[in-house]
Structure 1
């Protein structure tokens, strides 16, 4: 069998970042503590009645642009043989977590789709000099949906032609010091890389500088702080550097032990060519922090930035059997920054669909542009003796602030992405049939609105599976999956089937 490994011709690891991660691993071995290496092997068989999910819906555009390619719909058997390794370690001055999976996909009828995909999720942190010098490292390889216009999936089983390999690396040395009860200070440098072999995506390098100075416990009534941030993102092929810089001072006045007023003020200096006016201006916010009891905390702020009014809010509420959360965040950002802040755009998800990771993965798409992102998310998790229930809803709005020409080769139809809005939600239920058997069900809905052209894509996902621990180190799964996509975007072939059913049987062995 000839495995297609075109993406492996490129260097999978950036030498600088991987060297730093390896340093952390070697340091961990010599520090007080231990590392544990746990090999794993998952073997699965999937049958689907629509292996391509209508890939190629947008002729010459989003369909067929990633690995897998476009083509006629049809059923297929997909065998997966996925060896992997889990590395964990914890000591007095280090922590390491790494998971690697080699995703080998063998298509019975469509041999040209047979391929190998690498997945990596690794991070490590170490305290080199006690209470002073630290290093964080992160290395990830994953597959990401390229475009919102084409079929959306959370794994590589479906050959939609809308998935691309993405490599994310970063290393961050920093100094942290406490000036007794007066203040704490941190100076951090981060070197980050985002790479892909996908045509049209521009690899980028990020140099981030951050300095924080915040008042200590000596300031009980009036707290203060200063935050300096400088992000320089270099787009390799475009030979362009984007600089995002801010100087922000903050104050916190504690009216009571549980309620405080907050304020920030400063200046943003951004050096990208904006299509929506001047990208630099003074900035300010005012708000409050309230923790009425031990189970509840709220934060809210409102103010002005160069793009107009700005808001931020967080609500957390916890009981013995439930967790409630509401978040609203908005910021000017890039894909490189997002990858660095939030790690992978999706988790290692080889054989099943996880509700939260599905939504996180679908809400992102590849772009070379600077954009304003506004995100609202509300979730509740209820935990019982035998039942766990999670409800989640979100809205994500993106508005580009740099020219569409940067994405013209990447997406084919850049005008679709002038303004996008995504609405979604999911219900996930887990029922423990017995101490070793679980039933899991998830229903997710995600709508993509392309506001500039009044077009919509609706994506529906249903998954139900039963997992069984035959032995402590041997886990079996039987899963059914249904995917539907409803689109009012016209295509050259209106007979394409945009729905699919899939049944998967898998065994996972932990050594």
Structure 2
């Protein structure tokens, strides 16, 4: 579960200012969402679900150090609640909040409190015309790819508080059967504790006009977007590396058959940000989509933008026992955008059909897949709520295939290239999963200097009984940074992690888990290697 640390620091004023600013921003976002919900609040039912989580972890290397190995016992308790809207088509909202208290015996023996927030809302203010979306999240994120990757409850030396928010009013209108128009304004941002990165505020506008129902085989669209990004220091409000992204494009497609279509895009980027290479230019792409059955879809394209050749791929295939996925994308981004995308992902339980099991689905912020889906849930909730082997496999696959790598909070604009692929399947009570990820960031201000994260994860689960499941995982992650990004000598780290555990449902709303984990890092840099063994017992109770 994502958490937020309130840590003691020599820079108490900076930490407090960043934290207070994050809370104010989240409060403003929540207030605006509440106002948006007000016109139809009388038609909404709210489901309030309190919960309490507790855990005990023993580790033989709490600092994940090669020279200063110290064992520690770490106790945590997390009271929290989930609030979800029900019974309204025009308002959909979910808010989850938890406060985690941490007590450490051994190591630095520090005590901490961590806040977590995951709020998502969507409202239809004027029927079929005016809408508003919003979300706010508070979590702990890695500061550097070179430091300890441990969760903040174990070791917060390489973690920082990050708050992200987004609020987006928009209008949409059908122009008869000819076209569908939409215009959207979005205010978003990210706030970083202790100035590990400049706080980011973004204002964007997007407008589109796309073909209506009059067009059957032929489809077309016109798109325009403008995003202004302002980075500033939380203490002295000094601007740093502001950027503008502007794009206009036209798309066209044609369905050659009911299963196969072709499409293309032409446009122009007019960007302004610090870069050692070009930031603007014309672009184009061409591709195809193939959907031979309802369970299989492939969409691929190739083209060129001002930073070079571009490719994209999205492929999915589902059978009764397996799920296959692959995706590849390239884009211009920054750390605030990446954190907004990552923190806003939502998890749902959706039915396959009458008399059939449910499956886990992941969507981007403010998207509800269908009215029959239940959620959204946090990943840890779904691990406890999963009642079938397929649900567990779907969850493991989605968690492994969404690109949620532990990226560091690096500054600047970068080209991000991301590939994910994997498969999950089950044989009776036995289930397997395999996924691979490859994410590369090329920093524009540093002549395409890059960091590169590659990961492979294998999972095995076995349902011992209706209430007990054994699970294990083996992962290998390679992190590579060239000399400019590493600030000296190019560095390569290999992180091996193995876990073995038991999950048990003791009662309808009482769950427990016992997990052993071994972690080992080897590096080409002296004194960066370490080994760690840990054992965690946890219990979750919902009311």
Does TM-score exceed 0.5, indicating one fold?
yes
Query: 1:200, 1:13 → 2: CA distance?
Result: 14
- 1:59-74 to structure 2, matched below 5 A, reads 72-74=68-70
Once the two structures are superposed, the pairs formed by residues 80-479 of structure 1 within 5 Å of their partners are 80-90=76-86, 91-110=88-107, 112-153=109-150, 155-159=151-155, 161-237=157-233, 238-239=238-239, 240-275=241-276, 277-344=277-344, 357=399, 360-403=403-446, 418-452=449-483, 453-479=489-515
Q: Residue deviations 1:220-266, cap 9 Å, x none? A: 23211011111111001351420011001000022122211111001
Tell me if structure 2 keeps the 8 A contact 1:317–1:323: yes
Offset of residue 8 of structure 1: 5.3
Once the two structures are superposed, residues 375-431 of structure 1 have per-residue CA deviations (whole angstroms, 9 ceiling, x without a partner) of 111011224542332211011111101259xxxxxxxxxxxx921221111112222
CA shift at 1:160, angstroms? 5.5
Q: Distance in 2 between matches of 1:377 and 1:394?
A: 4
Q: 1:460 to 1:328 in 2, by over 3 A?
A: same
The question of whether the paired residues in 2 share the 8 Å contact of 1:142 and 1:344 is answered with no
Q: Contact 1:346/1:358 (CA < 8 Å) preserved in 2? A: no
CA distance in 2, matches of 1:399, 1:176: 36
TM-superposed CA distance for 1:190, in Å, is 0.8
How many residue pairs end up in the alignment?
476
Unaligned runs of 5+ in 1: 58-70, 405-416
**C-alpha offsets along residues 85-133 of structure 1, whole Å, 9 cap, x if unaligned?**
1111232211112221212111012455221111111111111111111
Aligned partners of 1:51 and 1:119: how far apart in 2? Answer: 23
Q: Please, which of 481, 502, 510 is the counterpart of residue 517 of structure 2?
A: 481
Following TM superposition, by how much is the alpha carbon of 1:344 offset from its aligned partner in structure 2, in angstroms?
4.8
1:156-193 residue CA offsets vs partner (Å, 9 max, x unmatched): 23316211111111111111112232111111111111
Residue 324 of structure 1, CA deviation: 0.8
Measure, in 1, the Cα distance between the counterparts of 2:446 and 2:492.
23
What residue number does 2:354 align with?
A: none
Cα distance, 1:484 vs. partner? 0.9
Q: Secondary structure at the match of 2:29?
A: helix
1:210 shift after superposition: 0.8
Structure-2 change in CA distance of 1:291 and 1:361 (3 Å): closer
- Range with bigger deviation, 395-404 or 77-86: 395-404
Tell me, in whole angstroms, the C-alpha distance in 2 between the residues paired with 1:209 and 1:114.
Answer: 44
* Counterpart secondary structure, 2:20: coil
Pick which of 422-431 and 356-365 moved more: 356-365
Q: TM-score scaled by structure 1?
A: 0.87
Q: Distance in 2 between matches of 1:213 and 1:467?
A: 50
Instruction: Assess if the C-alpha contact under 8 Å between 2:400 and 2:435 holds in 1.
Output: no
| Cα gap change, 1:110 to 1:19, in 2 (>3 Å) | same
Cα root mean square deviation, aligned: 2.6
Q: Distance in 1 between matches of 2:53 and 2:181?
A: 46
The 1:349/1:50 distance shift into structure 2, 3 A limit, reads farther
CA distance in 1, matches of 2:26, 2:75: 33
1:23-63 deviation per Cα after TM superposition (whole angstroms, max 9, x unaligned): 43462781423111111111211110000001xx8xxxxxx
Could you say if the C-alpha distance between residues 292 and 322 of structure 1 is closer, same or farther in structure 2, counting changes exceeding 3 Å? Answer: same
Q: Which residue is 2:536 aligned to?
A: 504
TM-superposed deviation, 1:465: 1.6
State the match for 2:392 in structure 1.
none
Aligned partners of 1:156 and 1:350 also within 8 Å = no
Equivalent residues of 1:194, 1:205 under 8 A apart: yes
Q: Does the aligned pair in 1 maintain the 2:143–2:196 contact within 8 Å? A: no
Q: Is the 8 A contact 1:33 1:92 kept in 2?
A: no
Taking the aligned partners of 1:35 and 1:114, their CA distance within structure 2 comes to 35
Tell me the equivalent position of 1:60: none
- Report deviation, 1:335: 1.2
Structure 2 SS opposite 1:419: strand
Secondary structure at the counterpart of residue 198 of structure 2 = coil
Task: Find the counterpart in structure 2 of residue 77 from structure 1.
Answer: 73
The structure whose RCO (Cα within 8 Å, separation 6+) is larger is: 1
Partners of 1:52 and 1:160 within 8 A in 2: no
Q: TM-score scaled by structure 2?
A: 0.82
Q: Choose 255-264 or 358-367, whichever is displaced more.
A: 358-367
Worse overlay, 168-177 or 291-300: 291-300
SS at match of 1:207: strand
Superposed CA offset, 1:129-161 (max 9, x none): 1111111111101111111112213x2233162
Partner of 1:39: 50
Report if aligned partners of 2:135, 2:344 keep a CA contact under 8 Å in 1. no
Aligned partner of residue 425 in structure 1, secondary structure = strand
Question: Which segments of 5 or more consecutive residues in structure 2 lack a partner in the other structure?
Answer: 1-5, 348-377, 385-394, 484-488
